[in-house]
Amino acid sequence: MLTVDFGRFRVKPGERVLDMGCGAGRHAFELYRRGARVVAFDMDAGELAGVDTMFKAMRMEGGLPEEAAAETVQGDALELPFPDDHFDKIIASEVLEHIPDDMRAMRELMRVLKPGGRLAVTVPAWLPERVCWALSEDYHTAPGGHIRIYTRAELEAKLKSIGFRVGPHHHAHGLHAPYWWIKCAVGVNNDDHVAAKAYHQILVWDIMKRPLATRLAERVLNPVIGKSVVVYFAKPPASGAPSAPAEETADAV
């Protein structure tokens, strides 16, 4: 289940791409399939072990573009262990809402991204997240949980203040917001509740089968109750550098 739209965030074979806060690796795997030289980065060694196992399985299966490469790196988002201007593109999906010093993490993203590079950021959207917080204290007070609710305007303003150019945005996972409202209402750890189990089965069916009815429903729901908001940014090119191709510029700003 991807949150970033790779039709908007185009990745070319051989590009060096950081998935910062990769978690279980869903975006990292897609980047690898597309031929990127992907670095899956996270603090959680257990998550990274699973991602590395999947990378190895993908290599054994074959069929990857010849430019593709993948590795996992453990570390802190506040001190990324990479040189300046290192990555062509970066994804930071559902991670900034966990970080107390989010501005420091954003500056690190700016530092390691190449001039002219692009950044995709996803965070929980304000309205669905606000409902979750209202329904359940456990949802946002658990260790490692969400510590803030962004408005899109706040997210854009913070990244713009450190030099990023703000590009297009969209919402994603409109079908998932009601599931989390149910979970918050019945207990975030109560996976056996009949309502939570039933809705979860619907989501699994949707992900596996992708029927037209749910695709259309999500398209309608996304702008209203999409669980995530996705914003695309660009780091300005170096002074005197040639402009990006027209299709890249159109996507980025």
* Residues ≥6 apart with Cβ < 8 Å to 211: 205
Chain centre to alpha carbon of residue 84: 22
Tens-of-pLDDT digits for all 253 residues of the chain? 899 999 999 999 999 999 999 999 999 999 999 999 999 999 999 999 999 999 999 999 999 999 999 999 999 999 999 999 999 999 999 999 999 999 999 999 999 999 999 999 999 999 999 999 999 998 888 888 899 999 999 999 999 999 999 999 999 999 999 999 999 999 998 989 999 999 999 999 998 998 999 999 999 999 999 999 999 999 999 876 654 543 444 354 4
Strand partners, 118: 89, 234
Quote the CA–CA distance of 170 and 8 in Å, as a whole number. Answer: 10
* Residue 177 · residue 225 · CB < 8 Å: yes
Strands 87-93 and 113-124: parallel
How many CB atoms lie under 10 A from the CB of residue 74? 14
